[in-house]
Amino acid sequence: MLDMIINPIIQPIMGAAGTAATAMNGIGAGALAGLHTAALESLTNSLNASAAAFQGMHSAALASITNTLNASAAAFNTGGLNTALEGLHASAAAAFSGGGLSAAAANSAGNVQLNNLVYGGFSNVYNTIYTAGQTWITSPTGQQIDGVINAPFLYLFGRDLIGNGVDGFTGPNTSLIGSLGLNGTLHDGGFLFGNGGAGLNGTAAHLAGTAGGSAGLIGNGGAGGSGFAGGGTAALGANGGSGGFLMGNGGAGGFGGSGGVSSSITVYNGAAAGNGGSGGWLFGNGGAGGNGGLGGTSSTNVGGAGGNGGVGGNSAILVGNGGDAGVGGNGGAGAAAGKAGGRAGFAYLGGNGGILAGDGGDGGIGGNGGAGGTGAAGGTAGRFVSSGTPGGITGLLGQEGAPGANGQAGAHG
């Protein structure tokens, strides 16, 4: 089973390394015969060593995963699994006897234990593969061989096969096929493995943050950039990138920019945050939503409104935790001369958990209203979009996320 998961990931890399080594041997024996071949032989040896090294990494990763799962199974064979199954039986009996889902929830201890076992097993498998892949990418040997492997993919698609996306990349994809806009850019992780690059934070030149890059088959999505803050130019936070299609965590949403200080009649509001990215298909956690920007303060007018928090990203379809929603931004304080405080930012839903295992993300917390100036009302509190709405939902074994709390109204001046 584990070979079925890992071999499709490892074998293309090993095959490419072997092909490259064979090709280099052929060149050395033919067209380049008679030339000084020391450099060519060195590269060929490096490619051959790379294939062998990756074979060793493959075996080590598989052994580590197997050992982890065996240890988990052994721990539950001592009684934990029986306890979990007994709890599930009690939950089912309570539901079918007329108590419904609320009665089943009261017997959820077994669900929690089994959820933790399933989630932990998937998490350990992913983390082992992820760590091995990142170790390869950042190693001198990996960097050398990946350059050979990635070259045709960059030419055709403008994106690596194996490699992390470039942080802050916003350029176009001008490659032969990638220019059609169907397969991402250098900002995204490699088709086979790699994280998406982080988005840019907003600046005076480009106010809004840019989105995080998405992963390919396996890897984590990049974090979204935060919006520019201050001076009446608060800008939106950007969304986090999606996790790998097979396995990977979504990137966190960027924070909304804060409103800053106004010395005129203009009111500076905080900006909304970005949403968390979604997890992969088999395993991955949703990214956390960003926090809303703070409402601006004013020396002559009402306080600015706080920005809304971002939505938590949904987990992978099968197993994963939903991302927590971001916090709504606090409203800004009103002027001393009887001006009201700013309204706080609203909070939104946490992400949904996996249909098999994993918990829903917690709902966001509403921001606090800004304090009113002398004799003026404080700002209204931030609330959940629908008061009392729960956090993200989940599937068979996990728990729903906690509902978000309302913020506090601002103090009366």
- pLDDT tens readout for residues 68-119: 556 655 555 555 555 555 555 555 454 445 444 444 444 466 678 888 889 9
Report which DSSP code applies to 111: H
Task: Enter the pTM of the model.
Answer: 0.76
- Among residues 279, 270, 276, 227, the alpha carbon closest in space to that of 249 is found at 279
Burial of 223 (0-12, 13-18, 19+ CB in 10 A): buried
346: left (phi over 0), alpha (psi -120 to 50) or beta: beta
> So what's the pLDDT on residue 284?
96
Q: How confident is the model at residue 16 (pLDDT cuts 50, 70, 90)?
A: very low
> So what's the pLDDT on residue 34?
44
- Give start and end residues of each alpha helix (H) in 228-375: none
- pLDDT tens readout for residues 122-158: 999 999 999 999 999 999 999 999 999 999 999 999 9
Report CA-CA distances (Å) from 55 to 62, 101, 150, 387.
11, 49, 19, 55
- Among residues 332, 407, 308, 314, the alpha carbon closest in space to that of 365 is found at 407
Given a contact cutoff of 8 angstroms between Cβ atoms, the answer to whether 335 and 317 are in contact is no
> So what's the pLDDT on residue 348?
79
> So what's the pLDDT on residue 188?
98
- pLDDT tens readout for residues 29-64: 444 344 344 444 544 554 454 455 455 545 555 565
Give the start-to-end residue ranges of the domains of the chain: 224-412
Give one DSSP letter per residue of 67-103, joined into a string. Answer: HHHHHHHHHIIIIIHHHHHHHHHHHHHHIIIIIHHHH
